[in-house]
Amino acid sequence: MAKRPPAPEPADLRRRILDTAESVLEEAGVAALSMREVARRAGVTHQAPYHHFADRETILAELVTHGFDELTRRLARANERAALDGRRTLVIESGLAYVGFALDHPGVFRIMFRPDVCDPTRFPEAMAAGDRAHGELGRLVRLMHDERYTEALASGYWAQVHGLACLFVDGPLGQHLPGARERRTHAREVLGLMADGVLAAR
Protein backbone atom coordinates (compact mmCIF):
# COMPACT_ATOMS: atom_id res chain seq x y z
CA MET A 1 0.00 0.00 0.00
CA ALA A 2 1.44 3.35 -1.03
CA LYS A 3 2.23 5.79 1.74
CA ARG A 4 0.36 9.07 1.84
CA PRO A 5 2.55 12.11 1.29
CA PRO A 6 3.40 13.93 4.50
CA ALA A 7 1.13 16.80 5.50
CA PRO A 8 2.59 20.21 4.66
CA GLU A 9 4.24 22.17 7.43
CA PRO A 10 2.12 25.07 8.78
CA ALA A 11 4.17 27.75 7.01
CA ASP A 12 4.06 25.78 3.75
CA LEU A 13 0.31 25.29 4.09
CA ARG A 14 -0.25 28.99 4.66
CA ARG A 15 1.78 29.82 1.56
CA ARG A 16 -0.01 27.14 -0.46
CA ILE A 17 -3.39 28.56 0.53
CA LEU A 18 -2.37 32.08 -0.48
CA ASP A 19 -0.86 30.93 -3.78
CA THR A 20 -3.97 28.91 -4.54
CA ALA A 21 -6.24 31.82 -3.69
CA GLU A 22 -4.28 34.07 -6.04
CA SER A 23 -4.66 31.49 -8.81
CA VAL A 24 -8.42 31.42 -8.26
CA LEU A 25 -8.55 35.22 -8.49
CA GLU A 26 -6.62 35.20 -11.75
CA GLU A 27 -8.61 32.40 -13.35
CA ALA A 28 -12.15 33.04 -12.13
CA GLY A 29 -12.31 36.31 -10.20
CA VAL A 30 -13.12 37.22 -6.64
CA ALA A 31 -16.68 35.85 -6.80
CA ALA A 32 -15.30 32.33 -7.28
CA LEU A 33 -13.07 32.48 -4.21
CA SER A 34 -14.30 30.52 -1.21
CA MET A 35 -12.62 28.66 1.62
CA ARG A 36 -13.90 25.36 0.24
CA GLU A 37 -12.68 26.09 -3.30
CA VAL A 38 -9.24 27.09 -2.03
CA ALA A 39 -9.04 23.88 0.01
CA ARG A 40 -10.13 21.78 -2.95
CA ARG A 41 -7.57 23.29 -5.30
CA ALA A 42 -4.82 23.16 -2.68
CA GLY A 43 -5.49 19.47 -2.08
CA VAL A 44 -6.20 19.83 1.65
CA THR A 45 -9.22 19.21 3.84
CA HIS A 46 -11.95 21.82 3.76
CA GLN A 47 -11.08 22.75 7.35
CA ALA A 48 -7.35 23.26 6.72
CA PRO A 49 -7.59 26.93 5.57
CA TYR A 50 -9.32 27.81 8.84
CA HIS A 51 -6.18 26.86 10.75
CA HIS A 52 -4.55 30.01 9.31
CA PHE A 53 -7.37 32.28 8.16
CA ALA A 54 -10.59 33.16 9.92
CA ASP A 55 -12.58 33.55 6.70
CA ARG A 56 -12.41 34.35 3.00
CA GLU A 57 -11.96 38.07 3.61
CA THR A 58 -8.91 37.39 5.79
CA ILE A 59 -7.26 35.57 2.89
CA LEU A 60 -8.08 38.47 0.57
CA ALA A 61 -6.70 40.98 3.08
CA GLU A 62 -3.40 39.12 3.30
CA LEU A 63 -3.14 38.96 -0.49
CA VAL A 64 -3.82 42.71 -0.64
CA THR A 65 -1.21 43.38 2.04
CA HIS A 66 1.40 41.26 0.26
CA GLY A 67 0.47 42.90 -3.02
CA PHE A 68 1.05 46.41 -1.70
CA ASP A 69 4.29 45.34 -0.05
CA GLU A 70 5.58 43.91 -3.34
CA LEU A 71 4.46 47.03 -5.21
CA THR A 72 6.26 49.17 -2.62
CA ARG A 73 9.49 47.21 -3.14
CA ARG A 74 9.29 47.65 -6.91
CA LEU A 75 8.55 51.37 -6.68
CA ALA A 76 11.34 51.85 -4.15
CA ARG A 77 13.87 50.22 -6.46
CA ALA A 78 12.78 52.56 -9.26
CA ASN A 79 13.04 55.60 -7.00
CA GLU A 80 16.51 54.60 -5.87
CA ARG A 81 17.72 54.72 -9.49
CA ALA A 82 16.85 58.41 -9.81
CA ALA A 83 20.18 59.70 -8.52
CA LEU A 84 22.05 57.68 -11.14
CA ASP A 85 19.78 57.75 -14.16
CA GLY A 86 17.90 61.06 -14.01
CA ARG A 87 14.31 62.18 -14.00
CA ARG A 88 13.19 60.81 -17.36
CA THR A 89 14.34 57.32 -16.48
CA LEU A 90 12.72 57.68 -13.06
CA VAL A 91 9.28 58.28 -14.57
CA ILE A 92 9.64 55.38 -17.00
CA GLU A 93 11.05 52.88 -14.51
CA SER A 94 8.55 53.79 -11.80
CA GLY A 95 5.69 53.40 -14.25
CA LEU A 96 7.07 50.07 -15.46
CA ALA A 97 7.33 48.91 -11.86
CA TYR A 98 3.63 49.66 -11.36
CA VAL A 99 2.45 48.22 -14.66
CA GLY A 100 4.77 45.25 -14.31
CA PHE A 101 3.30 44.39 -10.93
CA ALA A 102 -0.21 44.49 -12.41
CA LEU A 103 0.82 42.22 -15.27
CA ASP A 104 2.56 39.76 -12.95
CA HIS A 105 -0.28 39.66 -10.40
CA PRO A 106 -3.51 40.59 -12.18
CA GLY A 107 -5.81 38.78 -9.76
CA VAL A 108 -4.43 40.60 -6.74
CA PHE A 109 -4.15 43.91 -8.60
CA ARG A 110 -7.88 43.81 -9.34
CA ILE A 111 -8.79 43.71 -5.63
CA MET A 112 -6.14 45.96 -4.10
CA PHE A 113 -8.12 49.16 -4.60
CA ARG A 114 -11.56 47.82 -3.70
CA PRO A 115 -12.72 48.57 -0.14
CA ASP A 116 -15.77 46.38 -0.74
CA VAL A 117 -13.37 43.41 -0.99
CA CYS A 118 -10.85 44.40 1.70
CA ASP A 119 -12.44 46.73 4.27
CA PRO A 120 -9.69 49.01 5.62
CA THR A 121 -11.57 49.44 8.91
CA ARG A 122 -11.35 45.68 9.46
CA PHE A 123 -7.87 45.12 8.07
CA PRO A 124 -5.63 48.02 9.13
CA GLU A 125 -2.51 46.09 8.09
CA ALA A 126 -3.72 46.21 4.48
CA MET A 127 -4.34 49.94 4.81
CA ALA A 128 -0.85 50.46 6.24
CA ALA A 129 0.66 48.52 3.32
CA GLY A 130 -1.28 50.69 0.89
CA ASP A 131 0.03 53.80 2.67
CA ARG A 132 3.60 52.56 2.24
CA ALA A 133 3.07 52.14 -1.50
CA HIS A 134 1.53 55.60 -1.68
CA GLY A 135 4.58 56.90 0.16
CA GLU A 136 6.78 55.71 -2.69
CA LEU A 137 4.49 57.51 -5.12
CA GLY A 138 4.97 60.67 -3.06
CA ARG A 139 8.71 60.10 -3.09
CA LEU A 140 8.65 59.89 -6.89
CA VAL A 141 6.77 63.18 -7.21
CA ARG A 142 9.15 64.93 -4.81
CA LEU A 143 12.13 63.64 -6.77
CA MET A 144 10.55 65.03 -9.92
CA HIS A 145 9.24 68.34 -8.60
CA ASP A 146 11.16 69.10 -5.42
CA GLU A 147 9.24 71.49 -3.15
CA ARG A 148 6.34 71.81 -5.60
CA TYR A 149 4.79 68.53 -4.44
CA THR A 150 1.00 68.50 -4.07
CA GLU A 151 -1.48 65.68 -3.54
CA ALA A 152 -3.13 66.65 -6.83
CA LEU A 153 0.18 66.23 -8.64
CA ALA A 154 0.68 62.81 -7.02
CA SER A 155 -2.84 61.79 -8.03
CA GLY A 156 -2.09 62.80 -11.62
CA TYR A 157 0.93 60.49 -11.74
CA TRP A 158 -1.04 57.69 -10.10
CA ALA A 159 -3.96 58.06 -12.49
CA GLN A 160 -1.66 57.78 -15.50
CA VAL A 161 0.06 54.56 -14.48
CA HIS A 162 -3.02 52.98 -12.90
CA GLY A 163 -5.06 53.64 -16.00
CA LEU A 164 -2.38 52.13 -18.21
CA ALA A 165 -2.19 49.06 -15.97
CA CYS A 166 -5.97 48.60 -16.11
CA LEU A 167 -5.97 48.87 -19.90
CA PHE A 168 -3.52 45.97 -20.00
CA VAL A 169 -5.12 43.81 -17.30
CA ASP A 170 -8.79 44.16 -18.23
CA GLY A 171 -8.98 46.47 -21.21
CA PRO A 172 -8.41 46.57 -24.95
CA LEU A 173 -4.63 46.93 -24.72
CA GLY A 174 -4.44 43.50 -23.15
CA GLN A 175 -6.46 42.03 -26.00
CA HIS A 176 -4.55 43.91 -28.68
CA LEU A 177 -1.15 43.06 -27.18
CA PRO A 178 -1.41 39.56 -25.70
CA GLY A 179 2.32 38.95 -25.32
CA ALA A 180 4.22 40.00 -22.19
CA ARG A 181 7.11 41.47 -24.19
CA GLU A 182 4.76 43.43 -26.44
CA ARG A 183 2.95 44.86 -23.44
CA ARG A 184 6.12 45.98 -21.70
CA THR A 185 7.49 47.50 -24.89
CA HIS A 186 4.28 49.45 -25.42
CA ALA A 187 4.20 50.52 -21.77
CA ARG A 188 7.77 51.81 -22.04
CA GLU A 189 6.84 53.86 -25.12
CA VAL A 190 3.77 55.34 -23.43
CA LEU A 191 5.69 56.15 -20.27
CA GLY A 192 8.46 57.75 -22.31
CA LEU A 193 5.90 60.12 -23.81
CA MET A 194 4.54 60.83 -20.33
CA ALA A 195 8.04 61.57 -19.04
CA ASP A 196 8.75 63.93 -21.93
CA GLY A 197 5.53 65.79 -21.25
CA VAL A 198 6.27 66.10 -17.55
CA LEU A 199 9.80 67.35 -18.14
CA ALA A 200 8.67 69.85 -20.75
CA ALA A 201 6.17 71.31 -18.30
CA ARG A 202 8.60 71.64 -15.36
Q: What is the pLDDT of residues 55-70, one digit of tens each?
A: 999 999 999 999 999 9
Portions of the chain given CATH number 1.10.10.60? 7-53
- The pLDDT assigned to 173 comes to 96
CB neighbours of residue 14 within 10 Å: 17
- The pLDDT assigned to 11 comes to 65
- The pLDDT assigned to 1 comes to 46
The pTM (predicted TM-score) of the whole model is 0.91
The domain 7-53 is classified under which CATH number: 1.10.760.10, 1.10.10.60, 3.30.1380.10, 3.30.365.10?
Answer: 1.10.10.60
- The pLDDT assigned to 9 comes to 56
- The pLDDT assigned to 83 comes to 74
- The pLDDT assigned to 177 comes to 95
- The pLDDT assigned to 82 comes to 78
To the question of domain 56-201 being in CATH 1.10.357.10, the answer is: yes
Parts of the chain with a pLDDT under 70: 1-11
Portions of the chain given CATH number 1.10.357.10? 56-201
